[in-house]
Amino acid sequence: MIIVHGTFPVKPELREDALELMHKMAVASRAEQGCISYEFYIGLSDPNKLLLFQEWESVDALQGHFDTEHMEDFLKVLPEVLDGEVTTRRYEVRSPDEIDVEPIGDSEPEKRGDYERREKIIH
C-alpha cells in the first residue's frame, strides 16, 4: 500500500474556493481504480493549511492517478488558491512477509519473519 501525505497552505481570502476545489478532487479520486482513501482535512492550528491523506493499493495505481483528467484540472487551478509551497511525502507500507532479506553467504534470499512484536503506544 502507498500512503501520501500533503500540506496545502491556502490564501485566507480564497479558502472557500480551495475547499471546493479539493472536495471535487477527493470525490473524483476516490472513484479511481486502486484508491483506498483520499481525504483533505483542515489544520487545527492553522485553518488555512489543508492536509491531504491518501492511500493507494500500489505504485501503479498512484501513477495512474497522476495521469487523470481531474488531476490535470486540479493542477491548473491550484496555484491560484495557494499561499506558499505544497509539501508531500510518500510512504510504502508492506507486511513483514513482503520484506526481502539480503542473502547470507551462498544461501537464497529469504522472506523476513524474525521481527519483534511490540505493544501499541497510544497517545
* 48-59 residue pLDDT tens: 999 999 999 999
Q: Kindly give the parts of the chain with pLDDT less than 50.
A: 111-112, 115, 123
| Cβ–Cβ under 8 Å, residues 122 and 37 | no
Of the options 3.30.70.100, 3.20.20.70, 3.40.50.2300, 2.60.120.700, the CATH number for the domain spanning 8-46+56-87: 3.30.70.100
pTM: 0.75
* 24-36 residue pLDDT tens: 999 999 999 999 9
* Residue 119: per-residue pLDDT: 58
| Cβ–Cβ under 8 Å, residues 69 and 76 | no
Task: Of 24, 118, 116, give the one whose Cα is nearest residue 69.
Answer: 24
* Residue 112: per-residue pLDDT: 47
